[in-house]
Structure 1
C-alpha cells in the first residue's frame, strides 16, 4: 500500500506545483481566517480520488472535507487523515516549505505516513515496525541529545510560550525555523532534536509526520507526557505537544 500512497502524494504534488508556477493562487480566507488556495483544493481532489480507487477502502478525513460528525467517526477503527497542502502560508510566500500529508490511523495511532515536499522533491515515509525513509533511504532520530539542542520551530507561527518553555529547560539551544510538517520530519531524520508546539494545530497537521517520526524511533507526546492520539474527541484541535 505504501507505494500506492507515495504515488498519490506525488500526483498531489504535481497538482500543487501547477498552481505554484502560475500567477493565480486564488487565495481565499476560511472560517478560521486561515488561507485557502486553488492548490489546496486541487491536491485534496487528487488525494481523495486516489484513496477511493484503492482496493482496500477506509474513510477519509481531509482538512478540506472535515465536516464529519463525531457520532459517525468515533466508531472508526482505521481511517485516512489528510492535509492536502500543509504550510499554505509558506506556499503563498513561495519559499518551498510546504508538504502533502497522508496518514493511516488505527485506533488513534498513526501507523503509516507519507509526507511529500514537492519543491524539495523530498518524500518522507514511515510504517509501523518497518522503519522510516527519506527518498527510499533509511533515516532515524539522532542517537543522543547534544549539548546544544537543535530546536525546530514555526516560521509563520512563532510562540512566546514556546520560547518560555525552552528557556525553562535551562539548556542551551539553537532555533531552526522551518514551515509545515517538515519540522517533525527534521527530527525524524536526525537533523533536529526537538519540536515543542505550544500553539494551535489540528490533527491533519501532524498525523503523517507523526507516523514518520515514530517509525524513525522518535515520539510525539503532550506536554504532560501522554501519547498524542487521534480521533479521540469531538474537535480536531491537538493539545500542545512535544516531538522529540
Structure 2
C-alpha cells in the first residue's frame, strides 16, 4: 500500500523525552520491550503518568488512542499498547486494539535508509469520521506512525496527532519543511514513490531531510542496495536470518 497521506497540517504532537536513555535505564524496560505487560505498566506509570496528565485538554474527549503493535526481535513490545491504554483512561478517550501491524519490520537498530525500506503496513477496522491519536514509545524517523496515520486516513478516519514517550529524531516535527518537499519533487519527480512507495508530500520531516542529502535517484538506489545487505546482517546477528 502506498503512503499517500501525511499527518494533517493541524495535527498536534507531544513527546516527553528527546532520547531513549531514561526509559532504557528503567528496571522494567527489557521485560516490557519483550512483551511483559506488567513491566510495561510499571515503566509507563513510574516515568510518564505526570506527562500524560499534563496533556489533559490537548485533545477532545472521546478520541480513540491507537498504538502500532510493533513486533521487535525479542518479542512483542508491550510499551506502546500500555501507553495508549493509559492515555485513553487518563485523557477521557477510548483505546483501539483492532488495528494491528501486519508484519515485523525490525526497526530497532536500523539506520534511516533501512527504516525507509522496511515500511510497516496495517489492517483492521477504522471507524469512519472518528478521531484518532497515535501513540508509541519511541519515534526516530516517524515512519511507523506516518504509515498508521496514512492507513487511518485511507479508511476515512481523522488523525489529530500523536503522543510518544521519546522523539529521537533530528527534528521533533512530523510535517516536513516545504522547501525540502519542493526540492525533492524538482530533483526526483516520481522516483521517491517508485523506490519507496511513498508520495513525496507524505514524507515525514526527518525522512525528507535525510533524502535531500542525495543528489540523484541512482544514489538512492545504490544506498538502498547497501541497506538491504545491512538489514540481512543485522537480522542474522539476532538469529533471524
**Greater helix fraction, Structure 1 or Structure 2:** 2
Superposition TM-score, scaled by structure 2 size: 0.35
Under a length normalisation based on structure 1, what TM-score does the superposition of the two structures give? 0.35
Higher relative contact order (CA 8 A, sep 6+): 2
Whose strand fraction is larger, Structure 1's or Structure 2's?
A: 1
